[in-house]
Homo-oligomer: A and B are copies of this chain.
């Protein structure tokens, strides 16, 4: 008798499906497609020479260390570097024991899910929220309680009511949210930190895009608000926020180097989960990323990226204004990689996706980012990995596809 593989799979696999985005990306990799679907950084701006120099330096000076096994917590100089930058940015006090390296932020989400989620546990999420987080949490059979977002991010005043579901933690993307493109107002950050303390519910703050701001002033992270509550620089951080960020957007995603900041007692447990998950993150990549980032290079490079992405965002906002039917609305992101579109109710986002792909333009239909069935018709569109001319052309074609569907919907209404 051959093996019945389905009978071998764990119950948790019933909630695990392929990422819609990754499946869509496969469909749209034909070179003639203008794709707003991914969240890829602009490859033509990767600091390749700096990576070449860093690889040579690491392998010339420290090959025995770089190619060998290493501690689960991560490469100490990189952890120090991350702690120092946070302390400088926010005037707080985190140290090396507050920092752990992960194999991309996706791993951090997965490890936190493994650490905290029992089957059926609720997680408080934004509405809509990052698909990859839902995928990581659903592997551990999470349930969700979602709180809506407006142009100032998650509606903090609705959070206390949602806490009746006893969520294990709140998952918050404060800056240039994926997919919404919105930024959480400072007052709401303070409010969330107060709620976490008052109700004893941790916050997982996911901040991959914080450095990529194109207008306005930086707002301190939830971590910084929470450290402030504890008395700022006085102590090693031991509060209520677990903060995630990554080098994927500021340097390059292909090395999979990200980090978690949190209370040392939590990281000590998270390290145990990571030991079982992959022993440790590539020693070589951690050392190379450190060599690339250090001595101020990361700030110089991010300044370049901000210029490039600001222009692309502006090209997209300009094209939307010019081409989109008046019934369509979209967010005005101050940074990050995405904006979010709201379509009139008679548009079906999956049909629009198909009509757009027929015109060789792609995006991600918004329903993938919701935890509830039948959300309103929306889309996430990315502006980071296409030049301005491509962006304008893509938006023009997408507008044509919308017009087509609006006309069809009207015809259907008039002639039943």
* Contacts from A to B (Cβ < 8 Å): 1-5, 8-13, 16-19, 22, 38, 40-41, 43-44, 46, 48, 51-52, 55-56, 59-60, 63-72, 103-104, 106-107, 110, 114-118, 121, 132, 135-136, 138-140, 168-169, 196-202, 240, 248, 252-256, 263, 265-266, 269, 271-273, 275-285
Contact = CB atoms under 8 A, between A and B. Distances in A.
Contacts of A107: 277-278
Copies held by the complex = 2
20 contacts: A2-B200, A3-B202, A4-B200, A5-B265, A10-B140, A11-B118, A16-B273, A22-B275, A43-B68, A48-B63, A48-B67, A67-B253, A69-B253, A107-B278, A110-B276, A135-B275, A136-B277, A138-B276, A256-B282, A282-B285
Contacts of A72: 22
Nearest to A251: B67
A163 to B, nearest CB: 13
Contacts of A48: 59, 63, 67
Contacts of A64: 43-44, 46
B240 A2 contact: yes
Given A67-B253, A272-B16, A10 B59 contact: no
Contacts of A240: 2-3
A201 B22 CA distance: 32
Contact of A13 (B5, B60, B269): B269
Contacts of A59: 48, 51-52, 55
Given A55-B55, A107-B277, A254-B283, 11 more contacts: A1-B198, A5-B266, A8-B168, A10-B140, A52-B56, A55-B56, A106-B278, A138-B276, A254-B282, A256-B279, A256-B281
B266 A282 contact: no
Contact of A103 (B18, B56, B103, B272): B103
A255 B67 contact: yes
Most buried by B among A11, A240, A255, A282: A282
A253 B280 CA distance: 10
A282 B281 CA distance: 10
Contact of A285 (B12, B13, B266, B284): B284
A114 B132 contact: no
A376 B331 CA distance: 66
A86 to B, nearest CB: 20
Contacts of A168: 8
Contacts of A265: 5
Nearest to A64: B43
Contacts of A114: 10, 12, 139
A68 B253 contact: yes
Given A67-B46, A67-B252, A277-B106, A18 B272 contact: yes
- 5 closest Cβ contacts across the A-B interface? A67-B252, A43-B64, A254-B283, A55-B55, A67-B254
Contacts of A13: 115, 269, 272-273
B8 A116 contact: yes
Contacts of A41: 68
A12 B114 CA distance: 8
B69 A40 contact: yes
A83 to B, nearest CB: 21
A70 B277 CA distance: 20
A138 B255 CA distance: 29
A254 B135 contact: no
Contacts of A273: 13, 16, 139
A92 to B, nearest CB: 17
Contacts of A169: 8
A273 B46 CA distance: 29
Contacts of A16: 269, 272-273, 276
Nearest to A51: B59
A65 B107 CA distance: 21
Most buried by B among A72, A103, A168, A200: A103
